[in-house]
Amino acid sequence: MLWRRSCEVVLDPSFRGTGIEWELELASKRYGFEIRWHAGSELHINDVPSDFRGPAMPELAARVCRPDGMVDAHAIGVAAGKERFEEPTLLGDPSDAPLQQLKYLWHTLLAYGSAAA
Protein backbone atom coordinates (compact mmCIF):
# COMPACT_ATOMS: atom_id res chain seq x y z
CA MET A 1 0.00 0.00 0.00
CA LEU A 2 1.32 3.43 -0.91
CA TRP A 3 0.86 6.24 1.54
CA ARG A 4 0.52 9.74 0.25
CA ARG A 5 1.36 12.39 2.75
CA SER A 6 -0.93 15.39 2.43
CA CYS A 7 0.47 18.85 2.72
CA GLU A 8 -1.21 22.16 3.28
CA VAL A 9 -0.32 25.80 3.69
CA VAL A 10 -2.38 27.77 6.18
CA LEU A 11 -2.73 31.46 5.35
CA ASP A 12 -3.71 34.50 7.34
CA PRO A 13 -6.84 36.15 5.88
CA SER A 14 -4.98 39.45 5.53
CA PHE A 15 -3.40 37.91 2.41
CA ARG A 16 -6.76 37.37 0.62
CA GLY A 17 -6.84 39.16 -2.70
CA THR A 18 -3.09 39.81 -2.73
CA GLY A 19 -0.30 38.55 -4.92
CA ILE A 20 0.65 36.12 -2.15
CA GLU A 21 -2.72 34.37 -2.45
CA TRP A 22 -2.51 34.21 -6.24
CA GLU A 23 1.05 32.89 -6.26
CA LEU A 24 0.24 30.24 -3.67
CA GLU A 25 -2.88 29.20 -5.61
CA LEU A 26 -0.69 28.59 -8.67
CA ALA A 27 1.89 26.74 -6.60
CA SER A 28 -0.79 24.58 -4.95
CA LYS A 29 -2.06 23.46 -8.34
CA ARG A 30 1.43 22.75 -9.58
CA TYR A 31 2.72 20.94 -6.49
CA GLY A 32 -0.51 19.45 -5.14
CA PHE A 33 -0.91 21.00 -1.72
CA GLU A 34 -4.02 22.39 -0.08
CA ILE A 35 -4.55 25.99 0.98
CA ARG A 36 -6.47 26.68 4.15
CA TRP A 37 -7.26 29.94 5.91
CA HIS A 38 -7.18 30.59 9.64
CA ALA A 39 -9.13 33.27 11.51
CA GLY A 40 -6.29 35.79 11.51
CA SER A 41 -5.15 38.23 14.15
CA GLU A 42 -4.98 41.98 14.28
CA LEU A 43 -3.87 44.47 16.89
CA HIS A 44 -4.43 48.21 17.11
CA ILE A 45 -1.26 50.25 17.57
CA ASN A 46 -2.65 51.71 20.82
CA ASP A 47 -2.75 48.19 22.27
CA VAL A 48 0.84 47.22 21.47
CA PRO A 49 2.68 46.76 24.78
CA SER A 50 6.22 48.01 25.28
CA ASP A 51 7.06 45.40 27.91
CA PHE A 52 6.53 42.18 25.92
CA ARG A 53 9.08 42.16 23.10
CA GLY A 54 10.76 45.44 23.87
CA PRO A 55 10.09 49.15 24.10
CA ALA A 56 10.48 49.63 20.33
CA MET A 57 7.33 47.62 19.51
CA PRO A 58 4.76 50.46 19.74
CA GLU A 59 6.82 52.70 17.45
CA LEU A 60 7.49 49.87 15.00
CA ALA A 61 3.79 48.98 14.95
CA ALA A 62 2.92 52.60 14.17
CA ARG A 63 5.35 52.57 11.23
CA VAL A 64 4.08 49.34 9.64
CA CYS A 65 0.35 49.43 10.44
CA ARG A 66 -2.51 49.63 7.95
CA PRO A 67 -4.12 53.06 7.43
CA ASP A 68 -6.73 52.21 10.08
CA GLY A 69 -4.02 51.77 12.74
CA MET A 70 -4.23 47.96 12.78
CA VAL A 71 -1.26 45.62 12.53
CA ASP A 72 -1.78 42.25 10.85
CA ALA A 73 0.36 39.61 9.13
CA HIS A 74 0.13 41.37 5.78
CA ALA A 75 1.31 44.71 7.18
CA ILE A 76 4.28 43.00 8.83
CA GLY A 77 5.01 41.09 5.62
CA VAL A 78 4.98 44.27 3.52
CA ALA A 79 7.43 45.88 5.95
CA ALA A 80 9.66 42.79 5.92
CA GLY A 81 9.70 42.82 2.13
CA LYS A 82 11.28 46.27 2.20
CA GLU A 83 14.18 45.14 4.40
CA ARG A 84 17.49 43.89 3.12
CA PHE A 85 18.04 40.24 3.96
CA GLU A 86 21.30 39.48 5.69
CA GLU A 87 22.62 36.01 6.39
CA PRO A 88 22.11 35.12 10.05
CA THR A 89 25.15 34.57 12.21
CA LEU A 90 25.85 31.26 13.90
CA LEU A 91 24.29 32.71 17.03
CA GLY A 92 21.21 33.94 15.16
CA ASP A 93 20.10 37.41 14.25
CA PRO A 94 20.94 40.25 16.63
CA SER A 95 17.86 41.39 18.53
CA ASP A 96 18.08 44.89 17.03
CA ALA A 97 18.17 43.66 13.39
CA PRO A 98 15.17 45.01 11.43
CA LEU A 99 13.84 41.59 10.45
CA GLN A 100 14.27 40.34 14.00
CA GLN A 101 12.30 43.34 15.27
CA LEU A 102 9.52 42.53 12.81
CA LYS A 103 9.53 38.94 14.07
CA TYR A 104 9.12 40.30 17.60
CA LEU A 105 6.18 42.39 16.37
CA TRP A 106 4.68 39.20 14.91
CA HIS A 107 5.05 37.55 18.34
CA THR A 108 3.30 40.57 19.87
CA LEU A 109 0.48 40.35 17.34
CA LEU A 110 -0.07 36.67 18.17
CA ALA A 111 0.11 37.20 21.93
CA TYR A 112 -2.04 40.34 22.19
CA GLY A 113 -4.08 40.49 18.99
CA SER A 114 -7.67 39.46 18.55
CA ALA A 115 -9.51 37.65 15.79
CA ALA A 116 -9.53 39.64 12.57
CA ALA A 117 -12.76 41.43 11.73
Task: Please list the pLDDT of the chain residue by residue as tens digits (117 residues).
Answer: 566 667 899 999 999 999 999 999 999 999 999 999 999 999 999 999 999 999 999 999 999 999 999 999 999 999 999 998 877 778 887 888 899 999 999 999 999 999 887
**Reported pTM:** 0.82
Evaluate whether 110 touches 52 at the Cβ level (below 8 Å): no
Name the residue ranges covered by the structural domains of the chain. Answer: 8-38, 40-115
- Name which of 66, 71, 78, 74 is nearest 105 in CA terms: 71
Evaluate whether 66 touches 72 at the Cβ level (below 8 Å): yes
Cβ neighbours for 71, distance < 8 A, ≥ 6 positions apart: 42, 43, 44, 45, 48, 61, 64, 65, 105, 109, 113
